[in-house]
Structure 1
Amino acid sequence: MASEHTVASAGVQASSRFTEYDIYLLKQGNHVRLYEKFGAHPTVHEGTEGVYFAVWAPNAESVSVMGDFNGWDKAAHRLLARGDQSGVWEGFVPGVRIGALYKYHVASRYHDFRVDKADPYAVRFEAPGRTASVVWSLDYAWGDADWMRSRHAANARNAPTSIYEIHLGSWRRKPEEGDRFLTYRELADWLPDYVAETGYTHVELLPVTEHPFYGSWGYQTTGYFAPTSRYGTPQDFMYLVDRLHQRGIGVILDWVPSHFPSDEHGLAYFDGTHLYEHADPRMGFHPEWNSYIFNYGRAEVRAFLTSSAVFWLNQYHIDGLRVDAVASMLYLDYARKHGEWIPNAYGGKENLDAIAFLRHLNEAAYREQPDIQMIAEESTAWPMVSRPPYLGGLGFGMKWNMGWMHDTLDYFALDPVYRKFHHDRLTFSIWYAFSENYVLPLSHDEVVYGKGSLIAKMPGDDWRKFANLRLLFGYMYSHPGKKLMFMGGEFGQWREWSHESSLDWHLLEQPLHGGLRRWVGDLNRVYRREPALHARDFEQEGFAWVDVHDWEQSVVSFLRKGRDEEVLVVCNFTPVPRENYRVGVPRDGYWYELLNSDAEIYGGAGFGNLGGVEASPLPAHGHYHSVALTLPPLGIVLLKPA
C-alpha cells in the first residue's frame, strides 16, 4: 500500500487521505468506505487545525472550495488534482472549523460550464431552503452496546419482524407552536415508547437522507451521507436511533439508489458532464419521477452508492436498508414506451449493470454488517431477489410482497356478499409465498394519491369497517411473511395520509379506534411470543391449509407451524356468525383461544369460544380430530393446543 503524499498550492495544502490502493478500489468500483476519504474532514496538518476537502470531478478544469470562512470567494482555495487520472481533487484549508458552510465551485473543461455544488459526501447540510454543506464531526457516545451485541437474533430471518413505517415529519407535530415538526430528540422522547407499547419489533423511516423538497417525502435525495437537517443535527439523529435501540427496537432506513433530482447544487451534471447519470436520456432520465438515473456501469458511481449504504450501517448503527424502486433499476423499459429505451448487449430489457450493482451492494452490506437485513421493494416477478448471488440471486435478505398486498386489499374492498366469487384472490398468495423471503407491506403507498386510508377502504358501516380492518390485520399477522404497517393504520385513521399534518391522535380516545390499536398491540405480542407464527415464515413446512375450499361461506382455516408448535387460524370473511363450524385439527385435547378479533375489548360484539374448545375424535379435513367453533362475524380466531 502506498504511503500518503503531501502537495501544496496557493491557499491550499494537501495532505492526502488517499493511497494508491484507495484509487485502485475507486476505479474498480469496489471501495465501500469512500466517506472516509471524500468529503470534509476536520484534521490537524503540520500542527495546524483545519479541514481536508476531497471531491471527485474528473472532467473539471479546476475545483475550489468556498464558504463562509473565505467570504464565498471562488478563487481563494483551489483544490489540487491528483496526478493519477483518478479525477480526485483535494486540499487542506487551515483555520476552517466545525460548523463552517461550504460548497465546491467547479469549472468544467467543457462548454465553459461553471457551477457551485454541494459536497456529495457531506455529512450535514444547511436547513432546506439553503443548500450549502456543513463541516461536521460524527463523534457520538453510543449507549446501545447491548442491542448491537444481540441484534443478530432480532434481525434473523426466523425472528419475529413487525415493522412500523414512519414519516418523521408527520407522525406527530407541535400544533401549539405553529404545527412545527418534532426534532429528532423530541421524537426520541415519544417514538420508542409508543412503538414498544404497541409491540412492533422495528421501525422503518421514510428516507431521512437530505432532500430539498419536503413533498418528495425524502425520495428525491441530494445528500446521500447526511440525515436531513429539518429535524436536527447528525448527533440528534444518532440519539433517536440510540434510544430506539435501548428500547429493543430495530431501525430500518428507506434508501434510494434508483434516481436523484435535477437540483443544480446536487449530483446532476456535476462537473459539466453527465458524471453520476447516463448522458442518453433513454438510460439516464426517469420519465415517471422527472429525475436522473444513476449510471450503474460506472465504477465510481457504484462505489459512491455502496459507500452510502455502508455509511448508514456503520456510522449510524442502522439495522437494515429498504431499497426503494428496485424494479425501476432492473428493467431498461420501466415506465417507457417502445422506442424510448435502449436494449442491453443481448437485445433484452434487463439492466445488466444494475443487476451487477445490486449483487455487489448486498454482498458489501452483509460483509460489513452480517447481522443486518437488506430489503427490496421489487414489484415484479423478477426471480430470486432474496437469494444469494452465488445461486444467481440479487442477494437481498427479504422482498416486499406486492402481489399479496394488491390481491388482499382488492378482496377486502369487496362487499362480503361478493367475496365468495373472488376466493382465489385470498388464497393465491400461498402458491408463491415461499419463493422469496417476503415482507407483507401495508405501506404509505396504499394511503396516498386518492387511494384513501385503510379503514376507508373497508366496505360497510363503521362497525363493519372496523371489523374488516381487524380481520385484515389478523390475517396479515397469521399469513407467512414478515409484517409492515404504515403509521396511522394501527388505530384506523380516517383521513388519507398527508405529509403536511400530524396523525389524528385524538381518535384514540374513541372506543373503536382505541380498540383497534389494542388489537394490533395484542397481535404483535402474540406474534412475537408464538414461534409457530414467525419462526418458519420462509419455509413451506411452516404452513398447511386445513380447509381452503369453503368459498361458499368465505371461510379459510390453516395451521402455522414452528419446530414443535402449532397455531390454528380460522377466518370468517362475512358478517354472518357461524356456530358449530367444524375444523379438523392434528391433535386431541384442549385448544385455547389465543386471540379473537371480535372480543369486546377490541370493539367487537363478543362472539367467541369462551376461552377455548375441546377437540373431538371426529375426523375432518384429513385429521383424526376436530373442533366445533363459533366463528365471529368478519372475524379471526387463533387457537393453540394446551
Structure 2
Amino acid sequence: MSGEKPAVSTYREFADNVLPRIRANNYNTVQLMAVMEHSYYASFGYHVTNFFAVSSRSGTPEDLKYLVDKAHSLGLRVLMDVVHSHASNNVTDGLNGYDVGQSTQESYFHAGDRGYHKLWDSRLFNYANWEVLRFLLSNLRYWLDEFMFDGFRFDGVTSMLYHHHGINVGFTGNYQEYFSLDTAVDAVVYMMLANHLMHKLLPEATVVAEDVSGMPVLCRPVDEGGVGFDYRLAMAIPDRWIDYLKNKDDSEWSMGEIAHTLTNRRYTEKCIAYAESHDQSIVGDKTIAFLLMDKEMYTGMSDLQPASPTIDRGIALQKMIHFITMALGGDGYLNFMGNLVTQNGLTFQEKGTTGAMINADDSGALWTLITCGTST
C-alpha cells in the first residue's frame, strides 16, 4: 500500500489519502498487488502462503473491505492481482506438504521436478486434480463475494500455459509454439473454467492475463473456444522502452519500431498497454524516471534554480513515452503507482541486513508534495 512513511502503509490510509487523488486524475480502475497473505515480503506478494487470507501487513479483512467500498463510492473499480500460477514453497505456513487425495502422494502440486518452478523457487499446481480445481475456483469466488472485487489480473499465465513455463523460450508467433505437446491442457482448461465462472457470477467482471507468449484466442470468449480473458497485458511495450533507454541514444530511436511494438497485437483481442510496472521498475532495474535522470534528480530539481538539461530532457521524454503508449498501445492504459512522481525514494531499496524490501508502492512517496493535476 502506498503512503508517505518509509513503511508499509495500511488499507485505510491508502483509501483515505490516495484513492481521492487517483479519482481526481480521472483513472477508473485500481489494481492491487500482494493482497493474499505471503510470508516473504521481498516476493512482492507472489509467494502466497494463504490464498484465503488478507495480507496482515496492511490491515484486517475489514480494512480491505473499507478500501474497496471507498473506491466504489468514488466510481473506481478494483482489480486484485491473483496468483494461481504457483504457490510458496513453505511447508509450515503454506500449502506445500498438504495431502488432498486418498494417499500422501496426492497433493495440490505435481510431484517431482514437474511440481517445482526452478526460477521462482515455488510449487506448481496440478490442475488435473479435482480438489485443486475446487480450491482455486472457490478462491476466486471468495474474493468476489466477500470483498466485492471487480475482477482480477492473473499473474504468470505464460507459466501456466506451457509445460516449459516459457523458460528460455523465445516465442516467434509460429502456431506450433502454442498448440503442441508443450501446451499444458489441464491449466488451459482451468483458466477457461475460471473465466466462465467469474463472468457467470459477475458479468461485468474484468479479467486480465499476464502472458508474454502471445497465445492466440487467450482473450476470446469461452463459448468461441477461447480461454475467456477480457484483456491481456501488452508486455512487449515496457521491454521496448527499457531496451531503448538503456542501450540506445536518442538519435537511434526508431519511430517505426516503436509504433510497431505499440500496435502489434492480436486481432479482436484487447490489450492493456503500459510503459512500466513492478517487473521493470523494481525487480533488479530502475523506474523510467531514474533511467532518464538518475542521480541528477537529487541536485537538479530544486525550485531555487533552473532545471538542468538532464532534468528537462528526462521529464519531456517521460511525458512523451507515456503519452504515445497511452495513445497507440491498446484498449486500456495501466500506470504504475508513483512512476510520474520524480522524487528520490521511489526506487528499489533494502533495509538493514534483514533483506526486507520496500517496493515503489511502499516507498514513502510524499503525496502532499504533488501539485494539482500531476498523475499518481
Q: Does TM, scored on the shorter chain, surpass 0.5?
A: yes
Which letter does structure 2 place at the counterpart of 1:374?
V
| Aligned partner of residue 87 in structure 2, secondary structure | coil
Give CA-to-partner distance per residue, 1:258-286, whole Å, 9 cap, x none: 101121232112134341001132x2111
Match of 1:227 in 2: 54
Match of 1:488 in 2: 338
Between the aligned partners of 2:168 and 2:337, the Cα distance in structure 1 is: 36
Match of 2:277 in 1: 443
Q: Give yes or no for contact 2:262–2:325 (8 Å, CA) kept in 1.
A: no
Q: TM-score, normalised by structure 1?
A: 0.49
| Aligned partner of residue 446 in structure 1, secondary structure | helix
Match of 1:304 in 2: 135
Between the aligned partners of 1:295 and 1:419, the Cα distance in structure 2 is: 45
244, 261, 267: which one pairs with 2:95? Answer: 267
The answer as to 2:257 corresponding to 1:424 is yes
| Aligned partner of residue 286 in structure 2, secondary structure | coil
Which letter does structure 2 place at the counterpart of 1:243?
K
Q: CA shift at 1:492, angstroms? A: 2.6
Which letter does structure 2 place at the counterpart of 1:299?
W
Which letter does structure 2 place at the counterpart of 1:276?
Y
Q: Give yes or no for contact 1:196–1:249 (8 Å, CA) kept in 2.
A: yes
The answer as to 2:20 corresponding to 1:210 is no
The answer as to 2:367 corresponding to 1:500 is no
Match runs of 1:463-482 below 5 Å: 463-479=312-328, 480-482=330-332
Between the aligned partners of 2:331 and 2:117, the Cα distance in structure 1 is: 32
| Aligned partner of residue 181 in structure 1, secondary structure | coil
**Unpaired segments of 5 or more residues in structure 1?**
1-167, 339-345, 522-642
Between the aligned partners of 1:284 and 1:240, the Cα distance in structure 2 is: 36
The answer as to 2:373 corresponding to 1:518 is yes
Between the aligned partners of 1:433 and 1:410, the Cα distance in structure 2 is: 23
| Aligned partner of residue 108 in structure 2, secondary structure | coil
Between the aligned partners of 1:490 and 1:433, the Cα distance in structure 2 is: 29
Match of 1:258 in 2: 85
Q: CA shift at 1:470, angstroms? A: 0.7
Q: CA shift at 1:329, angstroms? A: 0.4
Q: CA shift at 1:201, angstroms? A: 1.1
Q: CA shift at 1:222, angstroms? A: 1.5
Q: Give yes or no for contact 2:157–2:209 (8 Å, CA) kept in 1.
A: yes
Between the aligned partners of 1:228 and 1:432, the Cα distance in structure 2 is: 35
Larger Rg: 1
Give CA-to-partner distance per residue, 1:479-518, whole Å, 9 cap, x none: 2320111111122345424442744534874xxxx57x83
Q: Give yes or no for contact 1:447–1:496 (8 Å, CA) kept in 2.
A: yes
Between the aligned partners of 2:338 and 2:8, the Cα distance in structure 1 is: 17
| Aligned partner of residue 222 in structure 1, secondary structure | strand
224, 233, 236: which one pairs with 2:63? Answer: 236
Between the aligned partners of 1:508 and 1:207, the Cα distance in structure 2 is: 25
The answer as to 2:281 corresponding to 1:458 is no
Task: Percent identity, please.
Answer: 28
CA separation of 1:292 and 1:196: change in aligned 2, threshold 3 A: same
Q: TM-score, normalised by structure 2?
A: 0.82
| Aligned partner of residue 219 in structure 1, secondary structure | coil
Q: CA shift at 1:192, angstroms? A: 1.7
Give CA-to-partner distance per residue, 1:422-471, whole Å, 9 cap, x none: 63233343243645210013211110233211112237711101000011
CA separation of 1:438 and 1:507: change in aligned 2, threshold 3 A: same
Q: CA shift at 1:301, angstroms? A: 0.3
| Aligned partner of residue 45 in structure 2, secondary structure | coil
Q: Give yes or no for contact 1:455–1:489 (8 Å, CA) kept in 2.
A: yes
Between the aligned partners of 2:154 and 2:107, the Cα distance in structure 1 is: 22
**Unpaired segments of 5 or more residues in structure 2?**
170-178, 294-308, 350-356
Which letter does structure 1 place at the counterpart of 2:373?
R
Q: Give yes or no for contact 1:288–1:335 (8 Å, CA) kept in 2.
A: no
Match runs of 1:68-83 below 5 Å: none
CA separation of 1:263 and 1:241: change in aligned 2, threshold 3 A: same
Q: Give yes or no for contact 2:54–2:61 (8 Å, CA) kept in 1.
A: yes
Between the aligned partners of 2:251 and 2:374, the Cα distance in structure 1 is: 25
Q: CA shift at 1:411, angstroms? A: 3.9
CA separation of 1:190 and 1:428: change in aligned 2, threshold 3 A: closer
- Give the aligned length: 334
Match of 2:213 in 1: 380
- Which structure would you say has the larger RCO, counting Cα contacts within 8 Å and 6 or more residues apart? 2
Give CA-to-partner distance per residue, 1:143-200, whole Å, 9 cap, x none: xxxxxxxxxxxxxxxxxxxxxxxxx1xx2154xxxx4433222322212212112222
CA separation of 1:327 and 1:291: change in aligned 2, threshold 3 A: same
Q: Give yes or no for contact 1:187–1:240 (8 Å, CA) kept in 2.
A: yes
Match of 1:390 in 2: 223
Between the aligned partners of 1:241 and 1:428, the Cα distance in structure 2 is: 34
RMSD over aligned CA atoms reads 2.5
Give CA-to-partner distance per residue, 1:27-57, whole Å, 9 cap, x none: xxxxxxxxxxxxxxxxxxxxxxxxxxxxxxx
The answer as to 2:29 corresponding to 1:192 is no
CA separation of 1:493 and 1:241: change in aligned 2, threshold 3 A: same
CA separation of 1:188 and 1:392: change in aligned 2, threshold 3 A: same
Give CA-to-partner distance per residue, 1:211-237, whole Å, 9 cap, x none: 111111111112111111222221111
Q: CA shift at 1:412, angstroms? A: 5.2
Q: Give yes or no for contact 1:257–1:324 (8 Å, CA) kept in 2.
A: yes
Match of 2:176 in 1: none
Give CA-to-partner distance per residue, 1:574-631, whole Å, 9 cap, x none: xxxxxxxxxxxxxxxxxxxxxxxxxxxxxxxxxxxxxxxxxxxxxxxxxxxxxxxxxx
Match of 1:103 in 2: none
CA separation of 1:274 and 1:220: change in aligned 2, threshold 3 A: farther
The answer as to 2:193 corresponding to 1:360 is yes
Q: CA shift at 1:294, angstroms? A: 0.3
CA separation of 1:347 and 1:220: change in aligned 2, threshold 3 A: same
